[in-house]
Structure 1
Amino acid sequence: MTKREMIAILGMVIADDEKKICKLIEYLVNWDEIGIRLLGTAYDGLTALQLINEKKPDILLTDIRMPGMDGLRLIEEAKMQNEILKCIIISGYKDFQYAQQGMRFGVRDYLLKPINQEDLTRTLKKLVKETQEQISIQSSRLHLEETIKNYTGTFKHLFLKTVLQKQLNELEENILQEVEKINAADIMKNSARCIAVKSNISYREFTEESYQLLTEKTLEIAEVEFSSHNWIWISEVTEEGIFFLLFSDALDRKELLESINHIKERVLSLQDLFPRLYFNAVVSEQADSCIQLIKRIKESRIAIGNRFLTGLNTVSEIKPTFINAGLSSAMDARILKLLEDRPEAFDMDEIKKCVEAAKHIMKAEDITSCLQVKKNLLLLLNYYLNGFKQLDSSLDEHEKVSWFSEMYEHCTSLEQTFRLLEDTLCETLMNVLDHLKNREIKPVIYAKHFIEENKGINIKLEELAKNTGFSYTYFSSLFKKETGKTLTEYIQMVRIDTAKKLLTEKERSISEVAELAGYNDIKFFTRQFKKTLGVSPNEYRKLFTNR
C-alpha cells in the first residue's frame, strides 16, 4: 500500500459569511496532500446545514457569527444528523464561552482570524491522523467494548466502584470480605495497576459545567490512548479524580508512564479553553491479588490527594513504602488547643488571624499527607459554622461543609486551601450578618404583636424566640436593642396596660383584674402596678372615675 493510499480521504464543508475568507481557506491548504476533499462552501448557517445534509461531510469548518443560524447552532443541528462529524470553529471573537460551548458539541479545535496557514494545516492533518488511528484500532476497540460489557468486565467495574466508596481508614480485609461477594476470582485473572488522574481548574475559576466538560475530555483522551495499546481497562470518576484499573500480566512500566505523560500533554493542550488548567497523575505498583489491588487503589487515592506536596502537572509513581497516611497527633493537639482558646467567631479580622495561626501550626509539622490538612481545615470550619449558627439558625452547616469539601478538591496548593477556608468563613459571616439585617425588624414586630395579642399572658420566651428563627440569647439582645425594653419588661408593660383598661370597668374587682392580666398573686400585681405607674390599682381606678 502506498503512502497516498494510506491517507484517509475525508469530505469537508466550509461555512463563513465572508466569501473572501472561504476563498482564502481554499487556497491555503494543499487538499490532496493531506487527504481531504472540499465538498462545498456556504455563506450562511441555513445554507450550510442544507449542504451538510446533502453532502454528508466528515469535517465542518465554520465561523461563529453568521446570518440565519450561528455556528454553534449549526454544529448542534449538524451533529444531530451525524454525531461523528468533526467540527472546527473559526472566529474573530476570542471568547472562552464560545469555545467552551463548542467543545460541549465535540468541536476539535478553535482557530482565530486571521487564519494562519500553518495552524489550519496542522489541525486538518491531526483530524486525518486521528481518523487513520480510529480505523486501525476499530476491530480491537469493538472487542474491548464487548469485553467491558461482559460478565467479568461488569464485576471489575463494580469492584472498583465499591473500593472507591469506602473510607480510607477502613481495613483492606474488611473491604475484601465485601468485594468477594462480587466474584473476586474473575476480577484478578490478570495483574493490575491503578492509575489516578486529576485534571483540575482552580476553585476561583471553577464552574460545574466547565469541570464536567474537562473531566469528559480527559476521560476521552485517556480511553483513546489506552485503546491504541490494546489494554484492558475500567474507569470510575469521583470527586477525588478519575481512577483507572489496567489489567495485564505484561504491562510495560516504561510504556505505561510514556502513555500517561502523553495524556498529560494532550490535556494541557486545552489551556486556551480552560483557564488555569492543571494535571496530575499517579501510577501504582503492580497488584497480583485482590487485597493487593485494594491497597493500590487506597494508595492512589492518598497520593492524588497529596498533589499539593508533589507539585502541579506531574506524573509520578507511588513508592512501595507509601502506605503511611502521615497523620500527626501533635498537629491535631495544637489545632484543638487553638480552638479551646475560643477565637472570636464574629469578627473577620479575628477569623483571618485564626486561619493564619492554623496555617503556621500545620506548616511547622512535617506534612506527609494532605488528609491531615483537610481534616483540620474541616475542624476549623465546623467550629466557626457552629458559632454562626448561634446568630442565624437558618444557616445550613452541612451545605457549607459539602461546598468547602468540593472546592478543596479544586485547590492547587496548600496555600490555596487556607485561602479557601478564609474566603468561605468571611463570606459566610458576611452573608449571615446581611441576612440578619434584613430579618431583625420583622421578628421584633412579630414578637410584639404576639405578646399584645395574648395580653402578655402565658408567654413562653424560649418558644417565642424559636418561632422568630433566633436563639433566645440573641433574640433577647435584639429585642432590647429595637424596643429599649427586655422581653420580660415588655410583657410586664402589656399586662399593666391590660389591667389599666380593665380597671375602668367598675363592675370588675381588683382580684379579677389581676387574674385577667395574668397575675395569680394579687399582692404581686399591686406591687408591680404601683412600681410602674406610681399609684395602686385602687388609686388608679379612683383617678380615672373622678375625671
Structure 2
Amino acid sequence: MIRTIIVDDEYWVCQLICDLIDWNSYGFEIVGQAYNGEEALASISSQKPDLVFTDVRMPGLSGLELIEKCQPLSPDTKFVIISGHSEFEYAKSAMQNGALGYLLKPVDPEELTDLLSSIKSSFSSVQRKALEDEQLKRQLLDNRLKLKEQYFLSLLKEDICLIDQFPLALINDKCSSAFARGQFQVFQYTIDSSVALEYFDASLSAISGRFYKDLSALCYDLVSVKLHTSVVCMANFQEAAFSEVNRTARDIFYFFKQNLPHIPDCRVTLGIGCVSDQYISRSFVTAREAIHARIQVGTNRIIDLSEAPYDSVSMDAYFQPKDRQAILHYITGTTDKNAQAVIRHIFEKCFYRELPNPSVIMKLVHAVLKYIYTLPVSNNLDVSPSAPLETAWSTAEALSSREQILDYLTCLLEEFKALCAPPDTSATAAQTILAYLDKHYQKEISLNNLGKLVFLNEKYVSELFKKEFDVTITDYIAGKRLEEAQRLLLNSALSITEIAEQVGYRDPKYFAKLFKRRCHVSPAQYRKMYK
C-alpha cells in the first residue's frame, strides 16, 4: 500500500476526497488528514508518508512552502497539488519543484483514479529500481565476501604460512578486502558430536554469520571460513579494540554453546589464537593448536593460547624408530600383535602423562598418518587406500577423544594390512563373512560387526565381499531371507507376519513389498500357487 495523507484547510474537502473513491482498491491507504500547513508538516515529519495530496492556498503555510519544508524532513515523500483554476500558476510552480501531478477543484473521480494509476505505476518503477539496486549491491558484497573466504580457505588447505609473504595491499587487491595495519587474531569454533557431518553445516553457517554481524563494527575487516567441523574466524582491529573483540568472540561461543539443540550430544569448543601484528599465520596456527588441545583438556570450553602460545615440540620423543617398525611389521604381517595393541603402545606415551603442549596428541596423530601413508611407496607395496592422506587428516581433526583416535587409527592400520595381504588371505576373510551371513542372516548385521569379525575396516569389508562374490552384502542378506521365506510359505502353517519376523523383517508390509519385487507375486499368492 502507498501511504497517503490528504491536506486541505477545509474539513469537508478533505472528507470529500477521502470518500470519493475506494482508495484501498487502487493500492493506496489514507493514513492521515491535516487542515493547515503547520499541522500537515508535523504529520509528514512523524509518519513519513509515501504521498501527500495538498491544497495550494492555506493559511499560515502554503502548499508550496509545505513541499519545500518537507524536503529535508521526509525526502522520499511525493506530492500532488490540489488547486482551483485561478491558482494554476501555483500548481505549475509546484510541478517544477517535483510534484507528481495536480488536480483541479472540484476533484473529478475519473481524473483522480487516472492520476492514482499513473502514480502507482511510477511508484512501482521506483521501488523496482530500488530493489534491483539493493539486490545488485548485496550480490556485489556477497561476491566480495566469497572471494575473500575462498582465498583464505585455499591458504588454510595449502599452507597458511604463505600469507606472511604477501603485503596487505596485495591481499586486499586479491580478495577485495580492507585489512589494515593493526592487530590480527584468529578464533576457531569447533563442533563435536556423534552425528553425521551434514548436520553441522547450518550451525557452522550460523556461527559464521554471527561473527560477521557482531564484530564488523569493531574491525577494519574480518573473514570467516568453514573448514570440516570448524569455523575459522580472523579479525583485524586496532589495538584499543582488543578487549571488546575478545569479549564479543567469547559471547558468541557462550551463545552457541546453549543454542545448538538440534544437534544431539553437541559440544562446542573455542580455540583462541595469539595476537599478531606481523606474522598473521602464527595466530591461525595457535588457534588450531588450541582446538587440538581439546583432546587433552576436554571439549565444551574456551581454550586460550592468545597470551602464552606453546613452543613447538619435536616428535622424536613420541614417535620413535621402534614405533615405526611396529607399524611396518603389523602391516606386512610379521608380528603377532594386533593393530589396537600397536596403536595403544605408541600413544600411551602422551595419553597418560603431563604434556609440555596439550596439542602434542594431534601432532603425533599427524606423524603416524604420514608414516602409514608413506609405507606402501617406501616398501614397494601395491596399495590404494580408500582415502588420501589429506582426507584422513581431516577425519582425524574432527575426533574429540582419545578413544576415537585409537579406534580410527586402529581401523586405518587394519585397512592397510588388508590391502597389503596376499589374495588368499582376503579370500579367507570373504569366506568367513559368507559363513557368518548364512548363519545369522535373520538378525541385524552391521558392517562394523563384520569388520571386527575379520579384523578389517568396515568399508573394505563391503568392497571385499562384492569383489569375491559379485553381490553386495545387503543384497545377499535379502536373498537369503527371501529364500527362507519361500521355504516357510510352502512347508509351514505360519502366518505371513510370523514368517516375516522369523526371517528378519519386523514390518510385514515391507517384507511383502520385497517379496513381490523378487518373486513377482505376493507371499499369499505364492503360497496359494505352489503349496
* TM-score bracket for the superposition, by shorter chain length: 0.3 to 0.5
If you compute each CA radius of gyration, which structure gives the higher value, 1 or 2? 2
Relative contact order (C-alpha < 8 Å, sep 6+): which is higher? 1
* TM-score, normalised via structure 2 length: 0.44
* TM-score, normalised via structure 1 length: 0.43
